[in-house]
A = this chain, B = another copy of it.
C-alpha cells in the first residue's frame, strides 16, 4: 500500500477542485470536513447520502478530494484523519472555496424549502 499522495499547493488546479466538488457526495464530505473543528474519519461518511456508500467508493471519493488538493489525510493508528486544506487554497485562489460553499448552502436551503412546499419540483421539465 503506497503512501497517500498530496499535491503541493502550486500544483493544485481550479479544474481539479471544481471537478472534485461537482459530485454531490464529495461536496457533502468536503463541507463537513471544512466546517469541523477536528479531523474527520472516513467511515463517518458512510451515511452522508440517502443510501449507504460502499467503502470502496468512499475510498475513491477521498482519493479524489486528496489529489485535487482539497483535503489532507493522515493515518492515525487504524484510521484516517482528514483535514481541509482551505487556508492554503484560499491563499492561492482567494474566495474560491468560500463562494462554492456559500452557493451550496443557498442551494440546500432552497431544496429544503421546496421539499416541504411543492413536491416533485425541480425536474428537467418539458424536455422529452
Asked if A11 and B122 sit within 8 Å, CB to CB, the answer is yes
Bits for A1-29, please: 1 = Cβ < 8 Å to B, else 0. Answer: 01001010011011110110111100100
Asked if B95 and A11 sit within 8 Å, CB to CB, the answer is no
Q: Which of A81-128 contact B (CB under 8 A)?
A: 92-96, 98-100, 102-104, 106-107, 110, 122, 124-128
B23, B93, B124: the one within 8 Å of A15 (CB) = B23
Residues of B within 8 A of A21 (CB): 18
In whole angstroms, what is the CA distance A18 to B100 when docked?
9
When all copies of this chain in the complex are counted, the total is 2
Residues of B within 8 A of A127 (CB): 5
Q: How many A residues touch the partner, as a band? A: 35 or more
Residues of B within 8 A of A7 (CB): 124
In whole angstroms, what is the CA distance A99 to B17 when docked?
13
Expressed in whole angstroms, the minimum distance between the Cβ of A103 and any Cβ of chain B is 4
In whole angstroms, what is the CA distance A126 to B126 when docked?
50
Asked if B96 and A100 sit within 8 Å, CB to CB, the answer is yes
Expressed in whole angstroms, the minimum distance between the Cβ of A4 and any Cβ of chain B is 10
Give me the interface of A with B, judged by CB distance under 8 Å: 2, 5, 7, 10-11, 13-16, 18-19, 21-24, 27, 92-96, 98-100, 102-104, 106-107, 110, 122, 124-128
